[in-house]
Amino acid sequence: MIAVFNGVNLNMLGQRDPAQYGTLTLGELESKIYEWSRAAGTTARCFQTNHEGALIDHIHECRGWASGVIINPGAWTHYAYALRDALEIVTVPIVEVHLSDITAREEWRRNSVIADVVAHRISGHGEDGYHEAITWLMQATKGV
């Protein structure tokens, strides 16, 4: 089972800057994630929050059941060291996903404080980045 974590402001998908983030709502994205997971032979559990501590609690909890993690921390990517530390103790592969290409945006968005604790990053592929992350995790874990 794959844990899919979406961070701060991702509940505003479909309403916030469609040029950067697309027109899909979070609910629509989660439906696609569930569909892609089933097609890959696994299941996904999605969680979104605007509260860093709640996300950290869910990361700690997933250590008992997840075979892989997909995370889009939103703006927390750039400064949330507590989130980085929580991810560091996860023992399964982690994929960092960003809808927009963070390396082509404002200078402050180019840094990822979680980069050194994730196994793979997909950035700038829109919603397809989540599909790519599921595929990558299934290959990395041999479908566990």
How far is residue 84's CA from residue 87's CA, in Å, rounded to a whole number? 5
How far is residue 44's CA from residue 61's CA, in Å, rounded to a whole number? 15
Asked if 21 is an active-site residue, the reply is yes
Of 129, 109, 113, which is closest to residue 121 (Cα–Cα)? 129
Asked if 120 is an active-site residue, the reply is no
39 burial level (CB within 10 Å; 0-12, 13-18, 19+)? exposed
- The catalytic residue among 21, 34, 79, 81 is 21
Catalytic residues: 21, 98
